[in-house]
Amino acid sequence: MRILATGGAGYVGSAMVRLLVSRGFEVTVYDNLSKGFRAAVPADCLIEGDLAEGDKLRRVLKEHRIEVVAHFAGSITVGESMVNPRHYYRNNIGNSLVLLEAMQVSQVEKIIFSSTATVYAPVSQGVLTEESPLGPANPYAVSKYTIERMIEDFAAANGWSYVLLRYFNACGASSDGRYGEAHDPETHLIPQVLQAALGQREKISIFGADYDTPDGTCIRDYVHVDDLAEAHVLALKAVEAGKSYTYNVGTGTGNSVLEVIRAAEEVVGGKIPTEITGRRPGDTSRLVAGSERIKREWGWQPKYQTLTEIIETAWRWHREHPNGYQEKN
Ligand code: UDP
């Protein structure tokens, strides 16, 4: 199967690309390297290109005889989307439309999409299942929700098959410590906590301790990036068989911001300085996955079951690569 990974040099995309290459799949990465890293993927896979360049995209789909697109490319930060919604509508929705048009013209009829738990309406209790009501609460979430709808509509009209994977909080690094999370600026909790442990940051701001949760801080479902990558391998098999699916991908366990910090302190063996600040606009109090469907139907199981195991992998990456992927493209 010949696969095109848009945004395949990014954090989650590159984890899938490396896994597929190790298993003998034929993968082409299409990435503008605005956030991704050349060093994160095998050099011979990478084509530098922007989704907005429809002509180039069509050429790549044709020349590489692509059969399936795994669509990772997109902007991912809730807070940024609140202050710059235009960018999320342009970069996520606008460029996804260019991709779907290119697929239509090129008769590529299968797509796996990196969606998000934030498409669901906010809840303060329990887990989110695929039947939970949708209700995206910030421009990032609206952009992902809209792309899901676009894919469903293109699929219905053109006889395509698709898999929508709703990720919860991707985190962790490869077990050999070679590949990990690197964003600039870094906004995610776990990498920031580990940067504070390395003395690269003075302290961690806890964005709100007055939520309706047991310790007052937000709860998320932290899922290891390599477990997300495995879900894509299963998705490729399913989509190849011509069926469509929508699945949550998370561990089913929620951890609060304070629990993440405690677990990290245990892993690094030291105290991490914190301060409680105001809530971050766009945040919801609780996002925990009900992932029974993907477990039952595809046999997916997260290998990394605890926060401590996940943070240990991230800590090795941060310790050994304090400046991330140094050779910035
Ligand atoms: N968070 C925090 N301080 C930070 C970064 C994040 O308290 O410096 C919180 C954030 O409010 C959320 C959780 O940590 O509840 C995870 O945030 P992250 O940005 O890692 O992922 P998101 O859930 O936004 O995708």
- Looking up residue 112, the CATH number of its domain turns out to be 3.40.50.720
In this structure, the residue with its CA closest to atom 19 of ligand 1 is 188
Residues 141 and 212 in one domain: no
DSSP letter at 120 equals B
Nearest-angstrom CA–CA distance, 247 and 167: 9
Residuewise pLDDT in 10s, the chain (329 residues)? 999 999 999 999 999 999 999 999 999 999 999 999 999 999 999 999 999 999 999 999 999 999 999 999 999 999 999 999 999 999 999 999 999 999 999 999 999 999 999 999 999 899 999 999 999 999 999 999 999 999 999 999 999 999 999 999 999 999 999 999 999 899 999 999 999 999 999 999 999 999 999 999 999 999 999 999 999 999 999 999 889 999 999 999 999 999 999 999 999 999 999 999 999 998 999 999 999 999 999 999 999 999 999 999 999 999 999 999 975 55
What's the 176 CA to ligand 1 centre distance in angstroms? 26
10 and 59 in a single domain? The answer is: yes
Same domain as 260, residue 233: no
Domain count, the chain: 2
Looking at the fold, whether 198 and 233 belong to one and the same domain comes out as: no
Question: Which atom of ligand 1 lies at the shortest distance from residue 280's CA?
Answer: 11
Domain assignment present for residue 16? The answer is yes
279: domain range? 189-220+252-320
Residues 155 and 204 in one domain: no
Same domain, 105 and 27: yes
> CA 319 to CA 48: how far, in whole Å?
29
- Is residue 244 within 8 Å of 156, Cβ to Cβ? no
Residue 236 alpha carbon to ligand 1 centre in Å: 30
Which protein residues are within 6 Å of ligand 1, measured from CB? 78, 169, 187-189, 192, 204-207, 218, 220, 257, 280, 283
Alpha helices in the chain (DSSP H): 11-22, 54-63, 78-83, 85-88, 95-106, 139-158, 189-197, 225-240, 257-268, 292-298, 307-320
21 belongs to a structural domain: yes
Active-site position among 11, 88, 120, 140 = 140
Query: 274 lies in a domain?
Result: yes
For residue 179, tell me if it sits in a domain: no
CA 281 to ligand 1 centroid distance, Å? 11
The reply to whether 325 falls in a domain is no
Residue 319, SS3 per DSSP? helix
Closest CA relative to residue 64, chosen from 126, 136, 151, 6: 6
User: Which of 185, 246, 223, 228 minimizes the C-alpha distance to 314?
Assistant: 223
Tell whether 178 is covered by a domain. Answer: no
pLDDT of amino acid 329: 52
Under 8 Å between Cβ of 47 and 53: no
**Together in a domain, 117 and 238:** yes
**CB of 48 closer than 8 Å to CB of 32:** yes
**What values do phi and psi take at 138, rounded to 5?**
-155, 165
Domain membership flag for residue 198: yes
Whether 97 and 26 share a structural domain: yes
- Same domain for 94 and 242? yes
Residue 241: the pLDDT is: 85
70 and 48 share one domain: yes
Active site residue 247: no
CA of 217 to the centre of ligand 1 (A): 10
- Please name the residues in contact with 153: beta carbons below 8 A apart, sequence gap of 6 or more: none
Q: Which atom of ligand 1 is least distant from the CA of 217?
A: 15
| pLDDT value, residue 243 | 92
Same domain, 59 and 100: yes
Query: What is the domain-level CATH number for residue 214?
Result: 3.90.25.10
pLDDT of residue 327: 58
Task: Verify cis geometry, omega within 30 degrees of 0, for the bond prior to 273.
Answer: no
- Shared-domain flag, residues 94 and 196: no
Q: Give the torsion through C-alpha atoms of 206, 212, 213, 215, to 10 deg.
A: 50
Residue 151 in any domain: the answer is: yes
CB neighbour list of residue 10: distance below 8 Å, 6 or more residues apart = 31, 35, 36, 40, 72, 73
Q: Which atom of ligand 1 is nearest to the CA of 279?
A: 11
What pTM was computed for the model? Answer: 0.97
